[in-house]
Amino acid sequence: MMDCRWDKTLSWSHTLKYLGVVFKSARNTVVTDVDETVRKCYASANAILSHVKYASEMSKLFLVETFCIPVLSYSCESLNFSRKQLSQLNVC
């Protein structure tokens, strides 16, 4: 027979990662953390641009649009961003 005691403790965390989206606890609400998304976008753009030095500008643009824009736009339609967060995403 299985032991079903509930004497386990849960530790508190200020961040939660769910399906690749990072949520942070704020004063009264939970907000989305876009810093990791921005870092991933810059990392993928740098990885692409460091390997295609002699490619045409159109090829570089195609690769960046194909691999970096999905990183930024993943789950955007289901999240509420602040003006500051939208500005950060637009700069990318």
Q: What is the pLDDT of residues 21-38, one digit of tens each?
A: 888 887 777 777 888 888
N-term to C-term CA, the chain: 55
Q: What is the pLDDT of residues 3-15, one digit of tens each?
A: 666 677 778 878 8
Please tell me the predicted confidence (pLDDT) of residue 8. Answer: 75
Domain residue ranges in the chain: 34-91
Identify the bridge partners of residue 22 per DSSP, sorted by sequence position: 17, 33
pTM assigned to the model: 0.71
In the 8-state DSSP scheme, what is residue 29?
Answer: S
| Two structure tokens written together for 83 | 């003006």
Please tell me the predicted confidence (pLDDT) of residue 1. Answer: 55
